[in-house]
Amino acid sequence: MKILRTGVLLILLSVMLVVVGGAIGGQNGLKIALAIAVLMNGISYFFSDKIALASSGAKPVTREQVPRLYAVMERLAAKANLPVPKLYVIPEAAPNAFATGRNPHHASVAVTEGLLQLMNDEELEGVIAHELSHVRNYDILTSSIAATIAGAITYLASMGRFAMIFGGVGGGEDDRERGGGLAALLMIFLAPIAALILQLFLSRTREYSADETGARMVGQPYGLISALQKLGAYNQRIPTTSLPPSTAALCIVKPWFGSGTLSSLFSTHPPLADRIAALRELTIVPSRS
């Protein structure tokens, strides 16, 4: 059901991109929209992980530098039958973590120095299991594709607004007489909002799924519950300085940048209280060794 829901959301975003392109520029607009989608998805597929790691200041670390992190990661990766991702540490006091990479064989997990200092072993295990779940479920690739399509829709809408100032939009005078001009105007102003809401809903869905999968990977939800409680408390007091806002959607909890935030309607993360409540309701049958 979760896979089906994700597929439906991606299809809706793709259809919206094509419709926006057609409404704004007719047949040529549709072709431009498709070209933008292919180009941006290609860039996202191959380079989104490198961009996220470089922009956050993440540094690769060895087993000798962070033996506790490697021990947890190697144990959970073996349990989930996954390759061990490349590990990075971000010089950041605010505790957080994110995974990136297009598939399990090209995955990286980055944690902040604050997270390593504040989490006990059980909490660290819960955080790493959550990030490995993103890797196993191909969430990073899915979220990147959704983000690039939503970005393309916003870009096309901006082009449409610019074109409207200098001569109108749509497929021609006949189209406007049949209401095509009105449809194009609606697309220009409403499609970016709809695309953003769909993207955020997809992101929230994947967070709930990673919480559940991570708890089942460990065998109990209590470490992750405690980690989320601690992450929420510290990220309300310690502003994030290294992570850029563009990387915030990847993080296990929404970073605080020391300024006001938008309504929770436009948040990439579900409320922490709701995530913790969902974890408390999980029924996990212990595996027999």
Residues marked active site are found at 131
25: left (phi over 0), alpha (psi -120 to 50) or beta: alpha
Q: Reduced to 3 states, what is the DSSP secondary structure of residue 256?
A: coil
Contact at 8 Å (CB) between 88 and 109? yes
Beta-ladder partners of 65: none
Q: Which two tokens mark 190? A: 């409403």
Helix (H, G, I), strand (E, B) or coil at 100: strand
Own/partner contacts of 158-167, CB < 8 Å, gap of 24 or more, are: 159/24, 160/20, 160/24, 160/25, 160/184, 160/187, 160/188, 161/188, 163/24, 163/25, 164/188
For residue 219, give the DSSP letter: T
**Do 181 and 45 touch, CB atoms closer than 8 A?**
no
Q: How many CB atoms lie within 10 A of CB 280?
A: 10
Closest by Cα among 126, 88, 79, 80 to 107: 88
- Which whole-number Å values give the CA distances from 119 to 38, 69, 124, 218, 282, in the listed order? 41, 11, 6, 16, 22
Residue 81, number of CB atoms within 10 A of its CB: 8
Cβ–Cβ under 8 Å, residues 213 and 136:
yes
